[in-house]
Amino acid sequence: MAKKSTKTKVPQKRYTARQTRKFQLRRDHPVDAHVSEILDFSRSKRREVTVIRDGVRLLWALENNDLSVLFEMFPHLKDQFLPGGVNLIEQIRSMLLETHPMPLEPERVGQAVGLKAMTTPASAFALPVFDDDDEDLPTIITTKGNSVNAAANLVSVSLGMQ
């Protein structure tokens, strides 16, 4: 008789097709050094591939003006980016309940609020008087000329003013 083994059988893991991608980071570049530190930390937590996958997915969505991936990954940011959310409606409702309507001023009780018709006639206003008679100043007459010589133009204008 054959002796049965006492080892527990571990079920085979299901095969998942994968693709390997390689990329390089510059050693003396500060941004790439920071990315390298993030990836090293993520590797120590066994999350390196997940961080890269989520980062690329989020960047692509944001470049295409799609905020759904952002809100999927960070649901607490939804209220900050979507002002039409339920939270804003609740805030406005509570503000309206906290404020008390201001009473009308005693002289305005019974009067309509808004624009009022003018009661004084337009003739009651003094119209402006312009005292700018230029009789004591000479009148300058300008004429169009087609002379190209600037000196001749200057002499002709100065002679015309006399």
Q: What percent of the chain is predicted at pLDDT more than 90?
A: 28
- Domains identified in the chain, total number: 2
At 32-64, the pLDDT tens digits run: 999 999 999 999 999 999 999 999 999 999 999
Same domain, 33 and 59: yes
Q: Could you tell me the residue range of the domain that residue 84 belongs to?
A: 75-100
Same domain, 58 and 25: yes
Same domain, 33 and 57: yes
At 9-25, the pLDDT tens digits run: 888 888 989 899 898 99
Same domain, 81 and 61: no
CA distance 106 to 50: 69
Residue at 141 is within a domain:
no
Residue at 47 is within a domain:
yes
Q: How far is CA 147 from CA 3, 43, 106, 157, 159, in A?
A: 125, 85, 76, 12, 16
Decide which of 44 and 122 is more confident.
44
Same domain, 25 and 61: yes
Confidence band (pLDDT; 50, 70, 90) for 26?
Answer: very high
Residue at 160 is within a domain:
no
pLDDT of residue 34: 95
Residue at 96 is within a domain:
yes
pLDDT of residue 10: 80
> pTM of the full predicted structure?
0.44
Q: Is 41 left (phi over 0), alpha (psi -120 to 50) or beta?
A: alpha
Same domain, 53 and 81: no
Residue at 157 is within a domain:
no
